[in-house]
Amino acid sequence: MALGYNRVLGDERLPVEARPHRVAIASWPTNVDDPRTRTLEALVGHVAAAGYEGCEFGLVTLSRFYEDESPAVVARKGRRVIEGAGLRVFGTAMHFLDEQMRRRDWLDTAVEQMKSVVDLGGEYVTYQLYIHPDHANSGGAYREDERYLQWCADRVAELRDAAWAEGLNFYLEVHVDRITEDPAALCRLLELAACELNGDMSHYLARGFERGEHVEKVIRYVEHTHVRMARKYGDLSAAVTDPQADWAARGVTWKMFQFMKPALAGGLSSRAICGETGPMHLVTDTLTQDATLVPLYRAMARFADASAQGIAIKVEDPDDLNPWHEQ
């Protein structure tokens, strides 16, 4: 169930419980030097052929295809190409450094960005808010700094309210090196400025944050997700050469699905599952890896669809549901 002014997105002709989850590609995997990304037409052709239904492309991604064009022109031209391929922009991911949020006009900049998301046809914004350098790499020590947490919460509330004023859903992303990196600190932030989360749970899985009251509370607030394979105590972005074999062996694909089940229960308000491998660690061909994982994202969508309608799908053994056998 959506929190506050966030809405359950998707086909408004359908009751909320019957609105299907869609599979999208996030923006980071597209910012690579690859023949499939040389033009926007090539990129959306790859995205559509891989089986995605949409994307999180924003002006940062699209502007490189339209150099020297105004933001309004970039949005208009980019949207035409994306929708011409049978896709749509579901929403957009944004970033703010701590120092940016300390400038007098920072919120005006954020609102301008939000308006560009609306111009692209998007219905949500998801934010990564960088942690102050004094708290970076401190093992979550900032959880004890109540003054700093209140300052962060004030910024979150300002962004959240501005997004709602523009008719957009708002999500705060779980991510290392951001104000959300420590589960206990994040729980306190949620008390000070309640909001829904974009659960990129690879950031917790890679560090072995799998249970406990704080992790469980964070998962309850997840209503959107970026999905990336992660290896516990290993790679934040793990390479998967044979996803079907990995699933059968209860590898990273299986572990991510299991970890996400409580978040997917009841459905996500964004109704979007976004793949986001990224060129990191041993993953060098990010676009291909994400495309091979589309069946996993679709399985997550089916699980969430059923749960939103009160139907429990049993996935306790890899044979219960094999994403690569159910195409």
DSSP conformation class of 51 = T
In the structure, what pLDDT confidence band is assigned to residue 327 with cuts at 50, 70 and 90?
Answer: low
**For position 208, what pLDDT does the model report?**
96
- CB burial of residue 230 (10 Å; 0-12, 13-18, 19+): buried
Tokens encoding 257: 């699905």
User: How would you label 155-177 residue by residue, b for 16+ Cβ within 10 Å and e otherwise?
Assistant: bbbebbebbeeeebbbbbbbbbe
d(CA 300, CA 303): 5
The separation between CA 233 and the C-alpha centre of its own chain, rounded to angstroms, equals 22
Q: Which of 204, 289, 244, 257 is nearest to 25 (CA)?
A: 289
pLDDT at 14 over 70: yes
Q: How many residues does the chain have?
A: 327
Q: Name the one residue in this structure whose structure tokens are 């779980």.
A: 174
Specify the CATH architecture of the domain 21-308.
Alpha-Beta Barrel (3.20)
Domain limits of the chain? 21-308
Tokens encoding 313: 């799908």
pLDDT, tens digit, 9 for 90 and up, residues 187-227? 999 999 999 999 999 999 999 999 999 999 999 999 999 99
Q: Which of 80, 48, 51, 50 is nearest to 65 (CA)?
A: 80
d(CA 327, CA 324): 6
d(CA 243, CA 50): 15
> How many of the other CB atoms lie within 10 Å of CB of 2?
16
CB-CB contact of 169 with 124 (8 Å) = yes
**For position 1, what pLDDT does the model report?**
46
d(CA 265, CA 245): 26
**For position 166, what pLDDT does the model report?**
97
CB-CB contact of 270 with 171 (8 Å) = yes
- CB burial of residue 88 (10 Å; 0-12, 13-18, 19+): middle
In the structure, what pLDDT confidence band is assigned to residue 326 with cuts at 50, 70 and 90?
Answer: low
d(CA 303, CA 314): 9
**For position 2, what pLDDT does the model report?**
55
DSSP of 92-157, one letter per residue? EEEEE-TTGGGSTTHHHHHHHHHHHHHHTT--EEEEEEBPPGGGTTSTTGGGG-HHHHHHHHHHHH
CB-CB contact of 59 with 27 (8 Å) = no
d(CA 199, CA 180): 10
CB-CB contact of 315 with 257 (8 Å) = yes
The per-residue pLDDT of the chain, averaged, comes to 96
CB-CB contact of 18 with 309 (8 Å) = yes
pLDDT, tens digit, 9 for 90 and up, residues 153-195? 999 999 999 999 999 999 999 999 999 999 999 999 999 999 9
Q: Which of 164, 111, 106, 165 is nearest to 130 (CA)?
A: 106
In the structure, what pLDDT confidence band is assigned to residue 86 with cuts at 50, 70 and 90?
Answer: very high
> How many of the other CB atoms lie within 10 Å of CB of 320?
9
Q: Which of 268, 238, 271 is nearest to 256 (CA)?
A: 238
pLDDT, tens digit, 9 for 90 and up, residues 229-281? 999 999 999 999 999 999 999 999 999 999 999 999 999 999 999 999 989 99
Tokens encoding 152: 């962060």
**Which amino acid appears at position 294 of this protein?**
V
pLDDT, tens digit, 9 for 90 and up, residues 29-80? 888 999 999 999 999 999 999 999 999 999 999 999 999 999 999 999 999 9
**For position 31, what pLDDT does the model report?**
87
